[in-house]
Structure 1
Amino acid sequence: MISEIDTLMQHWAEQTRRCGMEASLSSPMGTLMEFAGGMPRNLPGPRELMANGAGPDHIAREIEAALARLEHRGERGQLLVKLASLRYLPVPALSVPRQMQLLGLPSTADRTYRNWVQSLHEQVMSDLLRRAHLRAA
């Protein structure tokens, strides 16, 4: 299942690069309700605009919401969101040693880096499953 999360994260990055996470006319209260209290920053506007290609698709928005909730979980969550940005957003992609350097990890901490990536994927997956369950209820 983690490889699927990696694929979703890559999709999120592609959508973010293509569309940004901004559009127009968003409602703070509607956004707060839509994302179950974990309001991401710079969220796109109404769904009608996004349906016409003015913003990222639903999957990318779900990943963004999961990252926003993760970012609100303290220093560790913020670090994992930074990892997501460094790992998935840059074009061309940053090397693992460069990501580690930007995260403040020593070059010998490859195992720590891999554990952080695993934790990022697990926490995003957990939040996506939680959100899907809330929607189904």
Structure 2
Amino acid sequence: MKKDIDDLMRHWGEQRARCGLVSGLGSQLGTIMEWKGAAPRGGASGSRIPVNGLGMDRAAAEVEAAVAELERRDDRGQTLARLATFRYLYETTIREQMRAVGLAEDAERTYWNWLDALHLQVARIIVARSGLNRTTTVRRVGMRRACAEVAPK
């Protein structure tokens, strides 16, 4: 799971660096010139190239929302958001990341613990935002308890 979240956050950093937070509608002629025809629309859901340069894809936008939610939380959340920004967006060295979040030079194990906490929090926020509890089947009829039924005599 850590590797998947790390890959997703690297994707977010690349998308954010390339597209920024602003989206705009590009020229159709520019897309045709860039791709020598229509832009590809296939591929895995959430990772395809946005048509006409519409900004970050859905996967990167979900990570952006998770990092923004962390930043709005308490001091710990702000520190985790700063770590995400320095690690994945600015791609600074580990020492610079440690300095940015206020860790001592010899606290490398603490850095890795903070990084694990970042991955865990981002995963939790993304799962909560995806609404997994809303995708399960809900019974529309009343359910009776087996122990409540009395056998006829």
How would you bin the TM-score normalised by the shorter chain?
Answer: 0.7 to 0.9
What is the Cα deviation at residue 23 of structure 1?
2.3
CA deviations on 1:73-128 (whole Å, 9 max, x unpaired) are: 111101100000110112xx321112111222110111111111000000000111
2: distance between equivalents of 1:51 and 1:70? 30
1: distance between equivalents of 2:52 and 2:58? 13
1: distance between equivalents of 2:100 and 2:70? 19
Letter in 1 for 2:54: A
Which is bigger in relative contact order (C-alpha 8 A, separation at least 6)? 1
1: distance between equivalents of 2:129 and 2:100? 31
Contact 2:70–2:77 (CA under 8 A) maintained in structure 1: yes
Tell me if 1:12 matches 2:12. Answer: yes
What is the Cα deviation at residue 4 of structure 1?
0.2
* Alignment map for 1:104-115 (pairs within 5 Å): 104-115=102-113
Letter in 2 for 1:103: V
* Alignment map for 1:97-108 (pairs within 5 Å): 97-108=95-106
Q: With the length of structure 1 as denominator, give the TM-score of the two structures.
A: 0.74
Letter in 2 for 1:63: V
Q: With the length of structure 2 as denominator, give the TM-score of the two structures.
A: 0.67
Match of 2:56 in 1: 56
What is the Cα deviation at residue 51 of structure 1?
4.2
The structure that is helix-richer by fraction is: 1
Instruction: Output the aligned Cα RMSD.
Output: 1.9
Runs of 4+ in 1 over 6 A off after TM superposition: none
How many residues end up aligned between the 2 structures?
111
Letter in 2 for 1:136: T
Letter in 2 for 1:19: C
Tell me if 1:70 matches 2:74. Answer: no
Which structure 1 residue ranges, 5 or more long, are not aligned? Answer: 25-49
* 1:129/1:115 CA distance change after superposition, 3 Å: same
CA radius of gyration, larger in: 2
Match of 2:30 in 1: none
Aligned residues: percent identity? Answer: 46
